[in-house]
């Protein structure tokens, strides 16, 4: 456990988590932005804890996950829906109790983390070489980084509300990336980088435009 090889693999896993967890910090920030400070801390604590547990299990079963057909496609479509719904989250704020908001925020973070964590899972599984202790240690050390990052994004969103659109766009881009990584779709895009880039931009634009129009519609009805 204490040989240089173990620590180099652990450092690699931590680095992978830091690099690939930026989107996850955005999810946490957007999902928790309408909660009270007390509920916000609870949501981040429970959601991050549950997401880490699920990711440890998923990483241990990465080989089997790869055999699930259309996994990336379904995950990408779910993430597109989440990125759209997060734009509208505060529209019915007055009708939802704080406890309901807390549960909803935790559920949203965990589901989005599972979908977005597929890249992390595969990368970490490869770096760990099947060593579950390495996987657990790497994820646990990465938790404070992800939580701290989400707190910074939350503060920025409180000061600049328009950043919600930027965050939603980041999630939609991650969703589009997942869809085009699907084994059934990737061969069609081989050598067509321009088409793929345009399609990704179109997906992000559609999510932001539909979210913006729905927010305006809801504001008129209020």
pLDDT in the model for residue 7: 74
Residue (of 175, 181, 170, 212) closest to 76 by Cα position: 175
Taking the CA atoms of residue 126, residue 129, residue 132 and residue 137 in that order, the dihedral angle to the nearest 10 degrees is -70
The DSSP code for 222 is: -
Dump pLDDT digits (tens) for 149-207. 777 777 887 788 788 888 888 888 878 887 887 878 878 877 778 888 899 999 999 99
The DSSP code for 94 is: G
| 81 has pLDDT over 80 | yes
| 98 has pLDDT over 60 | no
Interatomic CA distance for residues 184 and 157, integer angstroms? 37
3-state SS, residue 35: coil
State the helix-helix crossing angle for 132-159 and 22-32, rounded to 10 degrees.
50
| 97 has pLDDT over 60 | no
pLDDT in the model for residue 62: 67
CA 109 to chain CA centroid, nearest Å: 7
pLDDT in the model for residue 208: 93
pLDDT in the model for residue 127: 66
Average pLDDT over residues 73-79: 83
| 91 has pLDDT over 60 | no
Cα separations (Å) of 85 from 20, 98, 128, 135, 164?
A: 23, 18, 35, 32, 12
Dump pLDDT digits (tens) for 5-31. 777 777 777 776 666 666 677 778 888
Dump pLDDT digits (tens) for 136-153. 777 777 677 777 777 777
Rg of the chain (C-alpha set) = 18
Cα separations (Å) of 100 from 20, 24, 104?
A: 30, 22, 6
pLDDT in the model for residue 93: 44
| 90 has pLDDT over 60 | no
Average pLDDT over residues 97-119: 72
Non-local CB neighbours of 13 within 8 Å, separated by 6+ positions: 124, 127, 128, 134, 135, 137, 138, 139, 142
| 46 has pLDDT over 80 | yes
Task: Please state, rounded to an integer, the average pLDDT across all residues of the chain.
Answer: 76
């Amino acid at each position: 456990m204490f040989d240089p090889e173990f620590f180099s693999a652990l450092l690699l896993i931590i680095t992978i988590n830091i690099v690939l967890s930026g989107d996850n910090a955005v999810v946490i920030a957007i999902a928790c932005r309408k909660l009270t400070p007390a509920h916000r801390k609870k949501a981040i604590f429970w959601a991050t804890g549950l997401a880490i547990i699920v990711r440890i299990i998923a990483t241990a079963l990465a080989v089997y996950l790869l055999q699930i057909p259309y996994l990336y496609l379904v995950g990408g479509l779910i993430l597109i829906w989440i990125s759209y719904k997060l734009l509208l989250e505060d529209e019915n704020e007055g009708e939802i109790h704080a406890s309901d908001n807390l549960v909803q925020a935790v559920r949203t973070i965990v589901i989005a983390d599972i979908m977005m964590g597929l890249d992390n899972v595969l990368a970490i599984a490869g770096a760990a070489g099947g060593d579950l202790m390495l996987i657990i240690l790497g994820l646990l050390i990465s938790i404070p980084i992800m939580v701290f990052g989400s707190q910074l994004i939350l503060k920025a969103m409180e000061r600049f509300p328009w950043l919600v659109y930027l965050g939603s766009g980041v999630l939609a881009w991650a969703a589009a990336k997942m869809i085009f990584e699907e084994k059934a779709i990737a061969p069609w895009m081989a050598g067509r980088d321009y088409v793929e880039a345009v399609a990704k931009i179109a997906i992000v634009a559609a999510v932001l435009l539909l979210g913006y129009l729905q927010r305006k519609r809801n504001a008129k009805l209020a």
